[in-house]
Amino acid sequence: MKLDRNRFSQLIDGAVWAIFLHELAHAMIDINRIPITGREEDVADQFALFFSAKYLEPRGVPVVVPAAWFFRNLEKRRGEGNLQRQLADEHSLDGQRIYNLACWALGAEPGRGQSAARFVGLPVERAERCGAEYARLEEGMRARFKKYISFR
Ligand SMILES: [Zn+2]
């Protein structure tokens, strides 16, 4: 798909925000020894989504669709030949990360999240649970990071 310069620039900006916030989460978890269970990579994605949905997207900075676009392109480049390596990796599969981000965005703000859900083709069965998934995610973010970040 050929993108015009402005659209491409917007996608890159949003993807860089998503990567920055993801890496910031790793740094905060590591430096402060924030206790987490499960995959830290998923927590870092949740952190990036939480901050994007709360503070960036409401100010007109798209992050979720650009991040989904970025992961979709990564997925295409990796191909399916390396499935074993991908399954052994500490990250969720790119396809899972795409659906997770879109679902949580939908749960965070149904109006804005619809564009992400449409962009990734989020199945209705998953979409129905996104409000509850996001509520748990936000509760977890606030509980784990409240000592280090003052939330509004
Ligand atoms: Zn990571």
Q: What is the mean pLDDT of each run of 10 residues along the chain (152 residues)?
A: 88 97 97 92 97 94 96 80 82 92 97 95 97 96 91 73
Report the C-alpha gap between 22 and 12 in whole angstroms: 15
Q: How far is the CA of 60 from the centre of ligand 1 (A)?
A: 25
| Full residue range of the structural domain in which residue 108 is found | 5-145
The whole-number pLDDT of residue 80 equals 62
Cα of 48 vs its chain's centroid, Å: 6
Q: How far is the CA of 88 from the centre of ligand 1 (A)?
A: 15
Number of domains in the chain: 1
The answer to whether residue 152 sits within a structural domain is no
Q: How far is the CA of 19 from the centre of ligand 1 (A)?
A: 8
pTM: predicted TM-score of the whole model, two decimal places: 0.92
The answer to whether residue 150 sits within a structural domain is no
The answer to whether residue 80 sits within a structural domain is yes
The answer to whether residue 73 sits within a structural domain is yes
Q: How far is the CA of 4 from the centre of ligand 1 (A)?
A: 30
Report the C-alpha gap between 71 and 86 in whole angstroms: 13
The answer to whether residue 140 sits within a structural domain is yes
The answer to whether residue 107 sits within a structural domain is yes
| Closest residue by Cα to residue 107 from 149, 136, 65, 75 | 136
The answer to whether residue 151 sits within a structural domain is no
